[in-house]
Structure 1
C-alpha cells in the first residue's frame, strides 16, 4: 500500500514531529532511488532483449536462449543469492522477453502465440516479482483482440479493433486484480495493482476509440467471413453510446477514488476525462477561437466543482486504503 503525504504541512499542523518527518522522508528517498534504478533496468532490458532477438538466426534460437537466461535468473532469485539479486532479476526479465519475442515470431503473431506469451509473462512476473512483466502480460492479452500501436515519422498511432470486448474484458480483469491485491502480501499486492492499473488504461483506450469510431463488432460477427470495409460502414454500437458510458464511468470512478483515497485513479480519471471532453468537443464544434474558449471555461468549472468536492471529503476523511 502506498500513500501520499505532505510532510511539511503535517509538521506545521502538529500532526508529525520534525524527527518523524525526516525519518519518513529518508524512507521515501530510498524508494525513489529504487524506482529510478528499476526504470533504467526496464529500458535496458527491453533494448537488449529486442536487439539480441533480432541478431539471433531463428525464432527457435531466441526461445532457447530466452529459456536458458530465465532458468539462470530463477536459480539466482529463488536461491536468494543476495549479492547477485539485481543480476538475477535482469536475467529473468530478459529471458522472459526473449522467449516471448521468439514465440510471437514463430507463431507469426497469431492469437495462440499471444495467449502463450500472456501466460508466460504472467507466470514470469510472479517468479521475478516484476511489475514490468506483469504489465506486459496485460498488454499481450490485449493483442489477442487486435490492439496495437504504431510509429512513423513524428506520428504515433493506437489501434483498438474490439472496443466493446476490450472495455468488458479489462474492466473485469481490473476488478479481479484489485480485489486480489487486498488479500495478497506486499510484493504480490504490487503486481496485482500494476495489472489493475494497466487494465484501466486499456479500458480507457477502448472507450476512446469507440467514442470516435463506434464498434462494428468484428469478432462477434465473424471477421473472416465479412469484408472489413463493409463492416465499418455498418457500425453496431454507435460512438455516442461509448461517449455517454465513458463519461459516466469516469465520473463514477473519480467519485469512488476520492472517497477511498485512490490518488492514482483520481489522476487517471481526470486525465482521460480531459481527453474525452476535448475529443468530443472539437469533433463536434471544430477548433475555433470560440470553441477553444468555451471548452476552457467549461473545464475550469468542472475543475472547480471537483476541488469543492475534494475539499468536503478532506474535511471528514474516510478510514480507507490509499494507493
Structure 2
C-alpha cells in the first residue's frame, strides 16, 4: 500500500522527527531512481521494437515482437525481480497491445477470434496488473457484441449491448469485493469502463432508438432515467463517490438532451438550462464535500 505524506508538514507539527524525515526521504530517492531507470529501459525496448516494426512493417512482425516483449516482462514477473517490476509491467502492456492488435488484424473478421482476443486481453490485464488492458478488454467485449466487422458498422443491438454491459458491471462489482487490492483495482477500472459504455449506449438509443428491435428513442429515454435514478440512489447509500459523480454527469447529459430536443436552442431555454446546470454542479460539490468530511471523521475515530 502506498501512502502520500507531507514530511515537512509532519516535522513542523512535531509528529515526525527531522532524522526520521530524512531517512524516509532517502527511501523515496532510491525508489525514484529505480523508477527512472525502469522507465528508460522500457522506452528503449519500445523504441527498438518500433524500429524493427518499421523495417519489417507487417502484422506478423507485430505479433512476433509483441510475443517477445510480453514473454520477457512475464518472465521478470515470475522471477520476482522487484527492482524491474515497473519495466516488466510496461513491456508486458506494450507486448500485449502489439500481439493482440496483430492477431486482430490478421484474423479479427472471425467471431470466435474476437471472443478469444477479448478473453486474452482480460488475462493479459491480470498478468500485467494493467488498468489500461482491463479497460481495453471491456471495450473489446463491447465491440464484439455491437460491431459487424464485415461492414464495420454498428449492428444496432443496443438493447442487447446495454443488458450485457450491465450484467458485466454487476459481475465486476461483486468480483471486486472478493479480490486482493491490486486486482480489485483492475476490476473497478473495468467496471467503470463498462458503466461509461452502458450510459453511452443509452444516450445513442435515446437519440436514434434501436433499428433491429424497432424501439423508438423514448423507450431508451425512460429506461435510462429509471436506471440513473436507481443506480445513483444505491451509490449514495453505498458511499461510491465515483459512481455518484458519473451518474450525475450522465443524468445532466440526459436531461439537457431532452430539454433542448423539446424546447429547442432558444434564449430562455439556454438560460434556464444554464441555471439548472449550475444548481446541479453546486449539489454535486456539496455531496463531495460531505463524503470527504465523513471519511475524515471516520479516519479520526479510527
Matching of residue 173 in structure 1 with residue 173 in structure 2? no
Distance 2:106 2:135 in 1: 23
Q: Secondary structure at the match of 2:239?
A: coil
Counterpart CA distance in 1 for 2:155 and 2:260 is 21
Match of 1:292 among 261, 270, 282: 270
The two structures have a TM-score, normalised by structure 1, of 0.69
Does the 8 A contact of 1:53 with 1:101 survive in 2? no
What is the CA–CA distance in structure 2 between the aligned matches of 1:61 and 1:191, rounded to whole Å?
Answer: 29
Which residue is 1:184 aligned to? 179
Deviation at 1:130, TM superposition (A): 0.9
Aligned residue in 2 for 1:253: 231
CA distance in 2, matches of 1:50, 1:174: 36
Q: 1:259-307 CA distances to partner (integer Å, 9 max, x unpaired)? A: 1111111110111111111212222222121111122334455566667
Shift in CA distance, 69/277, structure 1 to aligned 2, threshold 3 Å? same
Task: Pick closer, same or farther for the CA change 1:286–1:71 going to 2, 3 Å.
Answer: same
1:57-111 Cα deviation digits (max 9, x unpaired): 3222321221121111100011111222111112111111011111111024443
Task: For 1:161 and 1:52, locate their aligned partners in 2 and report how far apart those are by CA, in whole Å.
Answer: 40
Residues 105-132 of structure 1, C-alpha deviations (whole Å, 9 max, x = no match) = 1024443332122111111111111111
1:129-140 → structure 2 map (5 Å cutoff): 129-140=129-140
Give the corresponding residue for 1:60: 60
User: Shift of the alpha carbon at 1:166?
Assistant: 1.7
Cα distance 1:263–1:195, how it changes in 2: closer, same or farther (>3 A)?
same
Candidates 179, 189, 194, aligned match of 1:194: 189
Alignment length (residue pairs): 267
Between the aligned partners of 1:99 and 1:216, the Cα distance in structure 2 is: 35
Q: How many Å separate the matches in 2 of 1:174 and 1:313?
A: 23
Which of the pair has more CA radius of gyration?
Answer: 2
Counterpart check, 1:143 vs 2:116: no
- Counterpart position of 1:127: 127
Q: Distance in 1 between matches of 2:54 and 2:252?
A: 40
**2:70 corresponds to which residue?**
70
**Are the aligned partners of 2:74 and 2:92 in contact in 1 as well (CA < 8 Å)?**
yes
> Equivalent residues in 2 for 1:107-118 (5 A)?
107-118=107-118
Structure 1 CA distance for aligned equivalents of residues 114 and 245 of structure 2: 31
Secondary structure in 2 matching 1:215: coil
Specify which structure has the higher proportion of helix. 2
Kept in 2: contact 1:178–1:192 (CA 8 A): yes
SS at the partner of 1:240? helix
Stretches of structure 2 lacking an aligned partner (at least 5 in a row): 7-12, 17-23
Contact between 1:122 and 1:134, CA under 8 Å: does it hold in 2?
yes
Normalised TM-score (structure 2)? 0.74
Distance 2:242 2:74 in 1: 32
1:273 aligned partner: 251
Alignment of 1:1-323 (within 5 A): 19=15, 56-146=56-146, 161-217=156-212, 236-300=214-278
Between the aligned partners of 1:182 and 1:57, the Cα distance in structure 2 is 44
CA contact (8 A) 1:145 1:161 kept: no
SS in 2 for 1:144: helix
